[in-house]
Amino acid sequence: MKKQIINKSKAFNKLVKVFISPNRVKIHVIALNLAFLTILSGCGSPGATKIDDNTYGQLESDVAALINSSVADAAPLEIKFIQEKLQLVQQAKADRKRGLEAQYTEQIYADIQIAKLRAELNHKNNELLNKRDQVSAAQVYQMELQERLQ
């Protein structure tokens, strides 16, 4: 039995050697490296946000609109982070560091989306709590009716 397994193993090794020659391994390693570098170069490319003279003004008005909306009450921590980053954008703009300004601007817009999602989550949670209260009240009423019937 053991000899059969060894013979089958040797036969398998001969088949695999045909498919895994040193040249093929090198080609596959090079292809994988190129694919990895391509993916890596596409991630987090700096300067994706174009910075011009209106960018800061638009950002400021977007943040002000967010602060004056109902989202500010639902996501106060996110609003605090946004305000802090807005000051960093202002400083980067004063220092003429466009790359840093673009990075902070992107982060602020991402934080705005997070704040909106947090507000939506809080709203859905409140709806869920109201529904739960309604179900509880209905269950109490049902129990009272069942007691009356008995």
DSSP character at residue 44: T
**The tokens of 48 are what?**
């994706």
Euclidean distance between CA atoms 27 and 136, whole angstroms:
66
Rounded to an integer, what distance in angstroms lies between the CA atom of residue 125 and that of residue 131? 10
Q: Return d(Cα 122, Cα 108) in angstroms, integer.
A: 21
Domain ranges of the chain: 2-42, 55-149
Beta-carbon contacts of 77 under 8 Å, excluding residues fewer than 6 positions away, are none
Residues in the chain: 150
Q: One digit per residue, pLDDT tens: the chain, 150 residues?
A: 545 555 555 555 555 555 555 666 566 556 555 555 556 555 554 556 677 778 888 999 999 999 999 888 888 899 999 999 999 999 998 898 889 999 999 999 999 999 999 999 999 999 999 999 999 999 999 999 999 988
Structure tokens at 61: 């008005």
Q: Give the model's pLDDT for residue 55.
A: 85
